[in-house]
Amino acid sequence: MVQHYVTRAGATSMVGNIYLGRVQNVLPGMEAAFVDVGRGRNGVLYAGEVNYSPEDIDGPAPRIEQLLKPGQAVMVQVTKDPMGGKGARLTANLSLAGRYLVLAPNQDLQGISRRLPDEARKRLKTLLKRVKPSEHGVIVRTAAESATEEALEADLRRLLAIWDQIRATATKGKAPTVLYEEPELTVRVVRDLFTDEEYRGLVTDSQRVHGLVVNYLREVAPDLADKVTLHTGPLPAFEAYRIVEQIHKALDRKVWLPSGGYLIIERTEAMTIIDVNTGKSVGKTNLEATVVNTNLEAAREVARQLRLRDIGGIIVIDFIDMLLEKNKKQVEDTMREALAVDKTRSQVFEIGPLGLMQVTRKRVSSGLVESFSQICPTCEGRGIILTYDVD
Protein backbone atom coordinates (compact mmCIF):
# COMPACT_ATOMS: atom_id res chain seq x y z
CA MET A 1 0.00 0.00 0.00
CA VAL A 2 1.42 3.40 -0.97
CA GLN A 3 -1.47 5.83 -0.46
CA HIS A 4 -4.87 5.97 1.22
CA TYR A 5 -8.13 7.87 1.01
CA VAL A 6 -10.72 7.60 3.77
CA THR A 7 -14.42 8.32 3.59
CA ARG A 8 -17.13 7.41 6.06
CA ALA A 9 -20.91 7.12 5.78
CA GLY A 10 -22.44 10.51 6.44
CA ALA A 11 -19.08 12.33 6.47
CA THR A 12 -18.36 13.91 3.10
CA SER A 13 -15.52 16.20 2.12
CA MET A 14 -16.28 19.79 1.14
CA VAL A 15 -13.14 20.17 -0.99
CA GLY A 16 -14.02 21.20 -4.54
CA ASN A 17 -17.57 22.20 -3.65
CA ILE A 18 -18.70 25.63 -4.85
CA TYR A 19 -20.99 27.80 -2.75
CA LEU A 20 -22.71 31.13 -3.00
CA GLY A 21 -21.56 32.42 0.38
CA ARG A 22 -22.27 35.52 2.39
CA VAL A 23 -19.46 37.59 3.90
CA GLN A 24 -19.92 37.72 7.68
CA ASN A 25 -17.01 39.94 8.61
CA VAL A 26 -13.79 41.30 7.11
CA LEU A 27 -10.60 41.47 9.20
CA PRO A 28 -8.08 43.86 7.57
CA GLY A 29 -5.43 42.98 10.15
CA MET A 30 -5.56 39.32 9.07
CA GLU A 31 -6.15 40.19 5.41
CA ALA A 32 -9.03 37.74 5.47
CA ALA A 33 -12.80 37.53 5.38
CA PHE A 34 -15.05 35.00 7.06
CA VAL A 35 -17.75 33.65 4.77
CA ASP A 36 -20.90 31.74 5.69
CA VAL A 37 -21.40 28.90 3.18
CA GLY A 38 -24.25 27.28 5.05
CA ARG A 39 -22.17 24.44 6.49
CA GLY A 40 -21.74 25.34 10.14
CA ARG A 41 -18.46 27.10 10.93
CA ASN A 42 -17.62 30.03 8.64
CA GLY A 43 -14.94 29.49 6.02
CA VAL A 44 -11.92 31.79 5.68
CA LEU A 45 -11.12 33.64 2.46
CA TYR A 46 -7.69 35.28 2.37
CA ALA A 47 -6.93 38.40 0.34
CA GLY A 48 -4.78 36.51 -2.17
CA GLU A 49 -7.72 34.24 -3.02
CA VAL A 50 -10.17 37.06 -3.83
CA ASN A 51 -11.00 37.35 -7.52
CA TYR A 52 -10.98 40.80 -9.13
CA SER A 53 -10.22 42.32 -12.54
CA PRO A 54 -6.80 44.09 -12.53
CA GLU A 55 -7.91 46.37 -15.36
CA ASP A 56 -10.59 47.79 -13.05
CA ILE A 57 -8.02 48.81 -10.43
CA ASP A 58 -5.60 51.74 -10.62
CA GLY A 59 -2.39 51.50 -8.62
CA PRO A 60 -1.40 48.68 -6.23
CA ALA A 61 -3.47 45.60 -5.49
CA PRO A 62 -6.55 46.52 -3.42
CA ARG A 63 -6.90 45.54 0.21
CA ILE A 64 -9.50 42.96 1.13
CA GLU A 65 -11.76 45.52 2.86
CA GLN A 66 -11.97 47.37 -0.46
CA LEU A 67 -13.16 44.25 -2.28
CA LEU A 68 -15.49 42.63 0.25
CA LYS A 69 -18.10 44.03 2.62
CA PRO A 70 -20.14 42.30 5.35
CA GLY A 71 -23.40 40.97 3.91
CA GLN A 72 -22.00 40.74 0.37
CA ALA A 73 -22.69 37.55 -1.61
CA VAL A 74 -19.59 35.91 -3.08
CA MET A 75 -19.04 32.72 -5.07
CA VAL A 76 -16.35 30.60 -3.40
CA GLN A 77 -14.84 27.13 -3.61
CA VAL A 78 -13.49 25.01 -0.76
CA THR A 79 -9.78 24.16 -1.04
CA LYS A 80 -9.32 22.59 2.40
CA ASP A 81 -11.78 20.90 4.74
CA PRO A 82 -12.34 22.24 8.28
CA MET A 83 -9.71 20.82 10.64
CA GLY A 84 -9.72 21.05 14.41
CA GLY A 85 -10.95 24.49 15.34
CA LYS A 86 -10.30 25.96 11.90
CA GLY A 87 -13.01 26.56 9.32
CA ALA A 88 -12.83 25.54 5.67
CA ARG A 89 -10.26 27.30 3.49
CA LEU A 90 -11.87 29.11 0.56
CA THR A 91 -10.91 30.63 -2.76
CA ALA A 92 -12.80 32.83 -5.21
CA ASN A 93 -10.60 31.56 -8.08
CA LEU A 94 -12.85 28.69 -9.10
CA SER A 95 -11.84 25.53 -10.94
CA LEU A 96 -13.72 22.48 -12.22
CA ALA A 97 -11.79 19.23 -12.59
CA GLY A 98 -12.58 16.79 -15.37
CA ARG A 99 -10.89 13.60 -16.47
CA TYR A 100 -8.35 15.29 -18.78
CA LEU A 101 -8.81 19.02 -18.16
CA VAL A 102 -9.35 21.54 -15.39
CA LEU A 103 -11.58 24.47 -16.33
CA ALA A 104 -10.80 27.82 -14.64
CA PRO A 105 -13.90 29.94 -15.33
CA ASN A 106 -13.34 33.57 -16.23
CA GLN A 107 -9.57 33.31 -15.73
CA ASP A 108 -6.80 34.02 -18.20
CA LEU A 109 -4.55 31.03 -17.74
CA GLN A 110 -3.49 27.82 -19.42
CA GLY A 111 -1.05 25.09 -18.53
CA ILE A 112 -0.01 21.49 -18.93
CA SER A 113 0.90 19.06 -16.12
CA ARG A 114 4.64 19.02 -15.49
CA ARG A 115 4.49 15.30 -14.81
CA LEU A 116 3.97 14.63 -18.51
CA PRO A 117 6.97 13.82 -20.71
CA ASP A 118 8.21 16.54 -23.07
CA GLU A 119 6.88 14.82 -26.20
CA ALA A 120 3.37 14.55 -24.74
CA ARG A 121 3.50 18.16 -23.50
CA LYS A 122 4.41 19.38 -26.97
CA ARG A 123 1.51 17.46 -28.56
CA LEU A 124 -0.98 18.61 -25.94
CA LYS A 125 0.15 22.22 -26.21
CA THR A 126 -0.89 22.18 -29.87
CA LEU A 127 -4.26 20.60 -29.02
CA LEU A 128 -4.83 23.05 -26.17
CA LYS A 129 -4.54 26.02 -28.52
CA ARG A 130 -7.32 24.56 -30.64
CA VAL A 131 -9.79 23.61 -27.90
CA LYS A 132 -9.31 26.34 -25.27
CA PRO A 133 -12.23 28.82 -25.05
CA SER A 134 -11.14 32.47 -25.08
CA GLU A 135 -13.10 33.46 -21.97
CA HIS A 136 -11.89 30.65 -19.65
CA GLY A 137 -8.62 29.15 -18.50
CA VAL A 138 -7.75 25.49 -19.07
CA ILE A 139 -5.13 23.20 -17.51
CA VAL A 140 -4.29 19.82 -19.04
CA ARG A 141 -4.05 17.00 -16.49
CA THR A 142 -1.61 14.08 -16.33
CA ALA A 143 -4.34 11.63 -17.40
CA ALA A 144 -4.43 13.34 -20.81
CA GLU A 145 -1.04 11.92 -21.86
CA SER A 146 -2.54 9.77 -24.64
CA ALA A 147 -5.91 11.54 -24.96
CA THR A 148 -7.16 12.48 -28.43
CA GLU A 149 -8.44 15.91 -29.44
CA GLU A 150 -11.97 14.51 -29.48
CA ALA A 151 -11.60 13.26 -25.89
CA LEU A 152 -10.34 16.68 -24.74
CA GLU A 153 -13.23 18.44 -26.50
CA ALA A 154 -15.77 16.07 -24.93
CA ASP A 155 -14.28 16.65 -21.46
CA LEU A 156 -14.36 20.40 -22.00
CA ARG A 157 -18.01 20.30 -23.09
CA ARG A 158 -18.92 18.46 -19.87
CA LEU A 159 -17.11 21.07 -17.76
CA LEU A 160 -18.67 24.00 -19.61
CA ALA A 161 -22.12 22.49 -19.09
CA ILE A 162 -21.42 22.21 -15.36
CA TRP A 163 -20.26 25.84 -15.26
CA ASP A 164 -23.39 27.02 -17.08
CA GLN A 165 -25.51 25.18 -14.50
CA ILE A 166 -23.53 26.76 -11.62
CA ARG A 167 -24.07 30.26 -13.02
CA ALA A 168 -27.78 29.65 -13.52
CA THR A 169 -28.16 28.34 -9.95
CA ALA A 170 -26.19 31.31 -8.56
CA THR A 171 -28.44 33.78 -10.39
CA LYS A 172 -31.59 32.29 -8.86
CA GLY A 173 -30.14 31.24 -5.49
CA LYS A 174 -29.96 33.13 -2.20
CA ALA A 175 -26.75 33.04 -0.16
CA PRO A 176 -25.69 30.88 1.55
CA THR A 177 -26.41 27.98 -0.80
CA VAL A 178 -24.51 25.17 -2.50
CA LEU A 179 -23.98 25.60 -6.24
CA TYR A 180 -21.92 22.51 -7.06
CA GLU A 181 -20.80 19.41 -5.17
CA GLU A 182 -17.92 17.16 -6.17
CA PRO A 183 -18.78 13.50 -6.83
CA GLU A 184 -18.17 10.98 -4.05
CA LEU A 185 -14.59 10.05 -3.15
CA THR A 186 -14.43 6.86 -5.22
CA VAL A 187 -15.25 8.66 -8.46
CA ARG A 188 -12.86 11.52 -7.63
CA VAL A 189 -9.97 9.13 -7.07
CA VAL A 190 -10.70 7.31 -10.33
CA ARG A 191 -11.05 10.61 -12.18
CA ASP A 192 -7.83 12.06 -10.79
CA LEU A 193 -5.51 9.03 -10.56
CA PHE A 194 -6.67 5.97 -12.50
CA THR A 195 -4.65 5.84 -15.72
CA ASP A 196 -3.53 3.06 -18.02
CA GLU A 197 0.12 4.03 -17.53
CA GLU A 198 0.17 3.82 -13.72
CA TYR A 199 -2.33 1.11 -12.72
CA ARG A 200 -2.91 -2.46 -13.83
CA GLY A 201 -6.48 -2.51 -12.57
CA LEU A 202 -9.05 -1.53 -9.94
CA VAL A 203 -10.60 -4.03 -7.52
CA THR A 204 -13.69 -3.54 -5.35
CA ASP A 205 -15.98 -5.91 -3.48
CA SER A 206 -18.91 -3.46 -3.57
CA GLN A 207 -21.41 -3.96 -6.36
CA ARG A 208 -22.56 -0.35 -5.95
CA VAL A 209 -19.04 1.05 -6.29
CA HIS A 210 -18.28 -1.30 -9.19
CA GLY A 211 -21.33 -0.07 -11.10
CA LEU A 212 -20.59 3.56 -10.26
CA VAL A 213 -16.98 3.41 -11.47
CA VAL A 214 -17.73 1.36 -14.60
CA ASN A 215 -20.51 3.73 -15.65
CA TYR A 216 -18.24 6.75 -15.10
CA LEU A 217 -15.36 5.23 -17.09
CA ARG A 218 -17.62 4.18 -19.95
CA GLU A 219 -18.52 7.85 -20.30
CA VAL A 220 -15.05 9.43 -19.99
CA ALA A 221 -12.49 6.65 -20.67
CA PRO A 222 -14.13 3.53 -22.18
CA ASP A 223 -10.78 1.77 -22.65
CA LEU A 224 -10.32 1.58 -18.86
CA ALA A 225 -13.75 0.14 -17.99
CA ASP A 226 -12.58 -3.45 -18.52
CA LYS A 227 -9.84 -2.96 -15.90
CA VAL A 228 -12.40 -2.67 -13.10
CA THR A 229 -12.94 -6.01 -11.30
CA LEU A 230 -15.63 -7.02 -8.82
CA HIS A 231 -13.97 -9.12 -6.07
CA THR A 232 -16.10 -12.16 -5.15
CA GLY A 233 -13.71 -14.27 -3.05
CA PRO A 234 -14.46 -15.74 0.40
CA LEU A 235 -12.64 -12.87 2.12
CA PRO A 236 -13.36 -9.14 1.79
CA ALA A 237 -11.06 -7.40 -0.70
CA PHE A 238 -9.15 -5.55 2.04
CA GLU A 239 -8.31 -8.84 3.76
CA ALA A 240 -7.61 -10.77 0.57
CA TYR A 241 -5.08 -8.14 -0.53
CA ARG A 242 -3.73 -7.67 3.03
CA ILE A 243 -4.75 -4.02 3.14
CA VAL A 244 -5.96 -4.25 6.75
CA GLU A 245 -2.59 -5.65 7.82
CA GLN A 246 -0.74 -2.84 6.04
CA ILE A 247 -2.98 -0.18 7.62
CA HIS A 248 -2.19 -1.56 11.08
CA LYS A 249 1.54 -1.37 10.30
CA ALA A 250 1.14 2.19 9.04
CA LEU A 251 -0.39 3.19 12.37
CA ASP A 252 2.71 2.16 14.35
CA ARG A 253 5.08 4.87 15.54
CA LYS A 254 8.05 2.57 14.85
CA VAL A 255 9.02 1.61 11.29
CA TRP A 256 11.82 -0.88 10.62
CA LEU A 257 14.33 -0.40 7.80
CA PRO A 258 15.79 -3.26 5.70
CA SER A 259 19.27 -3.01 7.27
CA GLY A 260 17.96 -3.21 10.84
CA GLY A 261 17.67 0.52 11.52
CA TYR A 262 14.33 2.08 12.34
CA LEU A 263 12.28 5.28 12.35
CA ILE A 264 10.24 6.76 15.19
CA ILE A 265 7.41 8.97 13.91
CA GLU A 266 5.84 11.41 16.36
CA ARG A 267 3.03 13.86 15.58
CA THR A 268 2.75 17.14 17.47
CA GLU A 269 0.44 20.14 17.12
CA ALA A 270 3.09 22.15 15.25
CA MET A 271 4.92 19.53 13.21
CA THR A 272 5.83 15.87 12.69
CA ILE A 273 9.17 14.68 14.09
CA ILE A 274 10.94 11.64 12.61
CA ASP A 275 13.97 10.18 14.37
CA VAL A 276 16.38 7.89 12.50
CA ASN A 277 18.24 5.20 14.48
CA THR A 278 20.81 2.55 13.48
CA GLY A 279 19.10 -0.06 15.68
CA LYS A 280 20.38 -3.51 14.70
CA SER A 281 22.34 -2.19 11.70
CA VAL A 282 26.08 -2.76 12.28
CA GLY A 283 27.37 -2.42 8.70
CA LYS A 284 30.36 -4.13 7.14
CA THR A 285 33.09 -1.51 6.54
CA ASN A 286 33.18 1.60 8.74
CA LEU A 287 30.89 3.77 10.85
CA GLU A 288 30.39 6.49 8.22
CA ALA A 289 29.38 3.94 5.58
CA THR A 290 26.94 2.30 8.01
CA VAL A 291 25.42 5.67 8.91
CA VAL A 292 25.08 6.77 5.29
CA ASN A 293 23.45 3.49 4.27
CA THR A 294 20.96 3.74 7.14
CA ASN A 295 20.20 7.38 6.31
CA LEU A 296 19.64 6.57 2.62
CA GLU A 297 17.21 3.79 3.56
CA ALA A 298 15.55 6.19 5.98
CA ALA A 299 15.14 8.91 3.34
CA ARG A 300 13.35 6.53 0.98
CA GLU A 301 11.17 5.12 3.75
CA VAL A 302 10.31 8.57 5.13
CA ALA A 303 9.08 9.66 1.69
CA ARG A 304 6.96 6.49 1.49
CA GLN A 305 5.54 7.02 4.98
CA LEU A 306 4.65 10.66 4.32
CA ARG A 307 2.58 9.59 1.33
CA LEU A 308 1.14 6.47 2.99
CA ARG A 309 0.10 8.28 6.18
CA ASP A 310 -0.73 11.52 4.32
CA ILE A 311 1.37 13.56 6.74
CA GLY A 312 1.32 17.26 5.89
CA GLY A 313 2.67 20.53 7.25
CA ILE A 314 6.20 20.77 8.64
CA ILE A 315 8.23 17.56 8.97
CA VAL A 316 11.60 17.55 10.77
CA ILE A 317 13.83 14.50 10.24
CA ASP A 318 16.70 13.84 12.65
CA PHE A 319 19.16 11.86 10.54
CA ILE A 320 22.16 10.15 12.10
CA ASP A 321 25.16 12.55 12.05
CA MET A 322 27.34 12.32 8.95
CA LEU A 323 30.85 13.74 8.66
CA LEU A 324 31.18 14.30 4.92
CA GLU A 325 29.18 16.98 3.06
CA LYS A 326 28.93 14.76 -0.04
CA ASN A 327 27.11 12.15 2.03
CA LYS A 328 24.63 14.75 3.30
CA LYS A 329 24.06 15.84 -0.30
CA GLN A 330 23.44 12.22 -1.31
CA VAL A 331 20.76 11.85 1.38
CA GLU A 332 19.12 15.14 0.31
CA ASP A 333 19.05 14.04 -3.35
CA THR A 334 17.60 10.66 -2.38
CA MET A 335 14.81 12.33 -0.41
CA ARG A 336 13.92 14.65 -3.31
CA GLU A 337 13.95 11.75 -5.77
CA ALA A 338 11.73 9.61 -3.52
CA LEU A 339 9.23 12.44 -3.03
CA ALA A 340 9.08 13.18 -6.78
CA VAL A 341 6.53 10.36 -7.32
CA ASP A 342 4.20 11.91 -4.72
CA LYS A 343 1.48 14.02 -6.37
CA THR A 344 1.13 16.14 -3.22
CA ARG A 345 3.39 19.18 -3.39
CA SER A 346 6.43 19.10 -1.09
CA GLN A 347 9.72 20.91 -0.56
CA VAL A 348 12.98 19.50 0.83
CA PHE A 349 15.54 21.71 2.59
CA GLU A 350 19.23 21.01 3.16
CA ILE A 351 20.43 19.12 6.22
CA GLY A 352 21.47 21.68 8.82
CA PRO A 353 24.46 21.68 11.18
CA LEU A 354 22.48 19.71 13.80
CA GLY A 355 21.75 16.92 11.30
CA LEU A 356 18.12 17.99 10.90
CA MET A 357 16.32 18.07 7.56
CA GLN A 358 13.16 20.12 7.17
CA VAL A 359 10.46 19.05 4.70
CA THR A 360 7.17 20.75 3.99
CA ARG A 361 4.27 18.83 2.43
CA LYS A 362 0.87 20.23 1.55
CA ARG A 363 -1.70 19.24 4.14
CA VAL A 364 -4.51 17.53 2.22
CA SER A 365 -6.31 15.54 4.92
CA SER A 366 -6.09 14.99 8.66
CA GLY A 367 -3.88 11.92 8.10
CA LEU A 368 -4.09 8.14 8.51
CA VAL A 369 -3.57 8.06 12.28
CA GLU A 370 -6.26 10.68 12.86
CA SER A 371 -8.67 8.81 10.57
CA PHE A 372 -8.36 5.57 12.59
CA SER A 373 -7.94 6.87 16.13
CA GLN A 374 -9.33 9.22 18.75
CA ILE A 375 -7.74 11.26 21.51
CA CYS A 376 -7.28 9.27 24.73
CA PRO A 377 -9.84 10.63 27.23
CA THR A 378 -7.53 9.90 30.17
CA CYS A 379 -4.33 11.68 29.14
CA GLU A 380 -5.96 13.88 26.46
CA GLY A 381 -3.34 12.94 23.89
CA ARG A 382 -0.24 13.62 25.98
CA GLY A 383 0.70 9.94 26.23
CA ILE A 384 1.40 10.19 29.97
CA ILE A 385 -0.61 10.09 33.19
CA LEU A 386 0.46 12.76 35.66
CA THR A 387 1.15 11.72 39.25
CA TYR A 388 1.26 14.21 42.08
CA ASP A 389 2.71 12.03 44.84
CA VAL A 390 5.73 13.73 46.40
CA ASP A 391 7.79 11.87 49.00
Query: Quick one: pLDDT at residue 4?
Result: 83
Single out the residue of 163, 166, 171, 177 nearest to residue 21, CA to CA.
Answer: 177
d(CA 90, CA 182): 15
Single out the residue of 135, 130, 120, 136 nearest to residue 153, CA to CA.
Answer: 130
Q: Where are the alpha helices (DSSP H) in the chain?
A: 64-67, 118-131, 149-172, 185-193, 207-220, 237-240, 243-250, 287-309, 325-339, 368-371
Return the SS3 of 350.
Answer: coil
Q: Is 17-91 a domain of CATH 3.40.50.1980?
A: no
Query: Quick one: pLDDT at residue 73?
Result: 93
Burial readout 210-241 (b: 16 or more C-beta within 10 A, e: otherwise): bebbbebbeebbeebbebbeeeeeeeebeeee
User: For 132-178, how does the pLDDT look when each residue is reduced to its tens digit (9 = 90+)?
Assistant: 998 999 999 988 888 899 999 999 999 999 999 999 999 998 989 99
User: For 171-209, how does the pLDDT look when each residue is reduced to its tens digit (9 = 90+)?
Assistant: 998 989 999 999 888 888 898 888 877 888 999 999 999
pLDDT at 58 over 60: no
Domain locations along the chain: 17-91, 96-180, 185-232, 246-368
Query: Quick one: pLDDT at residue 369?
Result: 81
Provide CATH code, domain 246-368. Answer: 3.30.420
Query: Quick one: pLDDT at residue 268?
Result: 85
User: For 94-130, how does the pLDDT look when each residue is reduced to its tens digit (9 = 90+)?
Assistant: 999 999 999 999 998 889 988 888 999 999 999 999 9
User: For 201-241, how does the pLDDT look when each residue is reduced to its tens digit (9 = 90+)?
Assistant: 999 999 999 999 999 999 888 888 999 999 998 999 999 99
Neighbours of 156 (CB within 10 A): 19
